Amino acid sequence: MTLTSRAPDSLADLRREIDRIDAAMHALLMQRGEIIDRLIQVKRSQESGSAFRPGREAAMMREIVGRHRGILPVDIVESIWRVIIATFTHVQAPYSVHGDISLGADALRDVARFHFGFVVPFETHGNASQVIEAVALSRGDLGLVPVAAPGAWWRALEAPEAPKIIARLPFVERAHHPAAVPTYVVSKPVDEAAAGADVRLFSLVQSDGGMGLGGFEVVARAGSAVLLSGRGAAGATPRGGPGATPACRPVGSHAAPFSHPMP
């Protein structure tokens, strides 16, 4: 045996190493729980508002998926962290997730369980309006509405005090994602810093003659009602200036999706 050669690992040695890593991961999760407990106490004393920080979550998922290497599928890595984040958020402030299953129950259930796990209660509803109403009547629940849900459902978000879109799932887009249905997350209003403001969303009722959209994209349409998304400075509207279109109403914002090239 040369000085640079290494004796082959035994199965027993490798299993002991796996056990050591598993114990270390569990210890770190418990440490995370201790920090969350301290965070709860700080929030109670400072009344800092909602536990949801979808903009921060999107940034975390970009970082985690971007640095991932090795044989473990990226789907598993993303799912593990999503469950950790969602569950610890639930520990801070219990909440339920309401889902619009008008396009199919199985696909939306996959979205809910992939992003929120099994600890967070999941309640299904027949349409987006019922989801938005459930969120509005709750203390701090979330709603899941597929982008392609039927009807002009986003018009229920127009009033300033109405629920708003705070995230778009999946955070990380890629081919063959196990929960790939484009879905908006709706909650009671949170500040843009928490939601992420890379993409702003507007509800607009177009006149018969139409109008210039100023670089905004139509993401959903129902008759003359359209849901628009666009990137740009705060205050910009599809008519090019704040307040220029009385029929145009902000209905939320979210972090920009991140595309991950699969190997």
More confident residue, 4 or 67: 67
Count of structural domains, the chain = 1
pLDDT band, residue 107 (cuts 50/70/90): very high
Does 19 map to a domain? no
Given a cut of 60, is residue 164 above it in pLDDT?
Answer: yes
Does 3 map to a domain? no
Does 116 map to a domain? yes
In a 10 Å sphere around its CB, with 0-12 CB exposed, 13-18 middle and 19+ buried, how is residue 173 labelled? middle
pLDDT band, residue 4 (cuts 50/70/90): low
CB contact set of 104 (below 8 Å; sequence gap of 6+): none
pLDDT digits (tens, 9 = 90+) for 139-160: 999 999 999 999 999 999 999 9
Given a cut of 70, is residue 212 above it in pLDDT?
Answer: no
Structure tokens at 108: 């939306």
Q: Report the distance separating Cα 57 and Cα 65, nearest Å.
A: 12
The pTM score is 0.86
Does 158 map to a domain? yes
Closest CA to 101 of 144, 152, 153, 157: 144
- Confidence (pLDDT) at 231: 83
Does 121 map to a domain? yes
- Confidence (pLDDT) at 1: 44
Domain that includes residue 100, residue range: 50-256
- Residue pair 166/111 in contact (Cβ under 8 Å)? The answer is no
| Residue type, position 211, single letter | M
Does 98 map to a domain? yes
Does 106 map to a domain? yes
Q: Report the distance separating Cα 31 and Cα 111, nearest Å.
A: 28
Looking at every residue in the chain, the average pLDDT score rounds to: 87
Which of these ranges, 71-75, 109-113, 226-230, 240-244, has the smallest mean pLDDT? 240-244
Question: Tokens 């938005």 identify what position?
Answer: 132
Does 33 map to a domain? no
